[in-house]
A and B are shown apart, each in its own frame.
Chain A
Amino acid sequence: AQSVTQPDIHITVSEGASLELRCNYSYGATPYLFWYVQSPGQGLQLLLKYFSGDTLVQGIKGFEAEFKRSQSSFNLRKPSVHWSDAAEYFCAVLFDSNYQLIWGAGTKLIIKP
């Protein structure tokens, strides 16, 4: 079955440190890949997406993600986090067999001052 895994439920990072959030999917072909962010009590905002082409994609708020086909991964990175990055981050995958997004369970990012 198609699935999306975010192995880290929580991650704590010091302000100014680098960040990497992991996302793996199970699927034979290349899906469409997304990262969304949800601030407390808010809706979901699209950070970035990958459909094809360059496997390193840039998003909003200084985030980037790299698609690695061999590892079935789409990890989100940021070189230096800010306190305002504290939120929950969701990886989602659109498999081309239908128009339904499959979601990871989310990673909650905590920023230490």
Chain B
Amino acid sequence: DAGITQSPRHKVTETGTPVTLRCHQTENHRYMYWYRQDPGHGLRLIHYSYGVKDTDKGEVSDGYSVSRSKTEDFLLTLESATSSQTSVYFCAISGGLAGGTDTQYFGPGTRLTVL
């Protein structure tokens, strides 16, 4: 399995509070992604990064921001959490030395509940 960890694994927070989720990789992969998973929607891309300090928006980026100050860490911030952001969040990586940019490997997920 690719070396991807996410923290925290579970979080309960209140509406209006900021929340930061962390993704850490030990694979030196160039690309990192944040997805949310909701029943009936599959996975939807929030933001992704194609290098240190290089990020771009995905399909559902409103209300989220990201930062990548070093290769191994990709942070997702909910600036002011809302109940609609209750979801399971997955980090993924791709673009390792042998695999190119084409296969994504996933972390274990973070379950976030916004009350």
B90 touches A43 (CB 8 A): yes
B42 touches A105 (CB 8 A): yes
Among residues of A, the one whose C-beta sits closest to the C-beta of B94 is A99
Count of chain B residues near A, Cβ 8 A: 21
Docked complex Cα distance between A106 and B42 (Å):
6
B74 contacts A by Cβ under 8 Å: no
Mask of A52-84 contacts with B, CB within 8 angstroms, 1/0: 000000000000000000000000000000000
Among residues of B, the one whose C-beta sits closest to the C-beta of A94 is B102
Minimum C-beta distance from B28 to chain A (A): 17
> Which of B40, B43, B44, B109 is the most central at the interface, judged by chain A CB atoms within 10 Å of its CB?
B43
A46 touches B42 (CB 8 A): no
B45 touches A100 (CB 8 A): yes
B8 contacts A by Cβ under 8 Å: no
Known: A43-B90, A44-B90, A106-B42. A101 touches B104 (CB 8 A): yes
Q: Main SS of the interface on chain A?
A: strand
Count of chain A residues near B, Cβ 8 A: 21
B101 touches A99 (CB 8 A): yes
B101 touches A46 (CB 8 A): no
The residues of B with any CB-CB pair to A shorter than 8 Å are: 31, 40-45, 48, 50, 58, 90, 94, 101-109
Ordered by A's residue number, 21 sampled pairs between the chains whose C-beta atoms are within 8 Å are: A34-B104, A36-B106, A43-B107, A44-B43, A44-B90, A46-B103, A46-B105, A49-B102, A51-B102, A94-B102, A99-B48, A99-B94, A99-B101, A100-B45, A103-B42, A103-B43, A103-B44, A104-B42, A105-B41, A105-B42, A106-B42
